[in-house]
Structure 1
């Protein structure tokens, strides 16, 4: 009789609640910061994200310094909550604006943009988090390439119907 193969860890799992979403985001960001790549974040307003935490901005700072090809793409429905709730992240973003792009979702898709975080390394999706219902805070995390490809396609479709937003500086008279 052949021995049973060792079970591999699951490629996907459920997220129940904003706290679990935040914990999963921090853990995935920590994994991503060990290598060059791109992080993609999407949300209507980023109200539930831990972007303003010192540990998160320190991790992003370290990642950018260690990997010259590290990039962040952020897509938001509106930026006012992000600007009020995460001033530390805004300061970090100003420093790295040449490698952090911010996009504003068009009015026609803003209601469809749900919290999503994708980490890509060398052109391949590695991990992702997506909230399926923002009201009940139920979501999914995954390392399954098929699921990540679908999420990446959604993100790309949102990006195609968006425009650059939230400039780092205000030009005025």
Structure 2
């Protein structure tokens, strides 16, 4: 894996609090767009503390959205996303072909991993109540994190359709 561009180096090490976590998400999505990350996995019990409703986040996602890109979302429930993240919901409808949305009910919301993962970097909240966690470029940790997310995906089913078709 190549070393990140010096202008796009993301935070590494511990982080603390919802404000710092939300900024990590913003920075990661901006970096994903500028570096052209091909794949991301987002995992969270409900995505309530993710800044997906913000126009800057949707702008980063628009810049990231290109042919061959892939986003997998894993959650216990998309209710909060649909209720509170309107800008993201609109973006998701437009870019449905890039996104795989999955629901995993086998894990309780308190056990659900809260992670933004890419092949280059990841951030994980370890204490959801305090929104504290760690971010890293370290390859071994990224691989272990991806294995956990892959297992969660295997136990999941499709969720959050871009449109509801009916007769």
Note whether the superposition's TM-score is higher than 0.5: yes
> Residue 121 of structure 2 aligns with which residue?
127
Shift of 1:36: 4.0
Larger Rg: 1
Compute the displacement of 1:109 (Å): 1.5
Determine whether 1:22 maps to 2:18: no
How many residues were matched structurally?
157
After superposition, residues 16-95 of structure 1 pair within 5 angstroms as 16-34=16-34, 35-64=36-65, 67-95=66-94
1:103 aligns with 2:106: no
Match of 2:143 among 125, 137, 149: 149
Give the 3-state SS of the residue equivalent to 1:126 in structure 2: coil
Compute the TM-score of the two structures, normalised by the length of structure 2.
0.88
C-alpha offsets along residues 125-166 of structure 1, whole Å, 9 cap, x if unaligned? 210000001012111101100111111111001000000101
- Checking the alignment, whether the CA contact within 8 Å between 1:104 and 1:165 is kept in structure 2 is yes
Q: Distance in 1 between matches of 2:29 and 2:101?
A: 18
Structure 2: 5+ residue stretches without partners: 1-8
Q: CA deviation at 1:39?
A: 1.2
Matches of 2:47 and 2:154, distance apart in 1: 20
Greater percentage in strand: 1
Take 2:38 and 2:99, find their aligned partners in 1: how far apart are those partners?
A: 12
| CA RMSD across the alignment | 1.7
Match of 1:6 in 2: none
Q: TM (normalized to structure 1)?
A: 0.86
CA shift, 1:10, in A, is 10
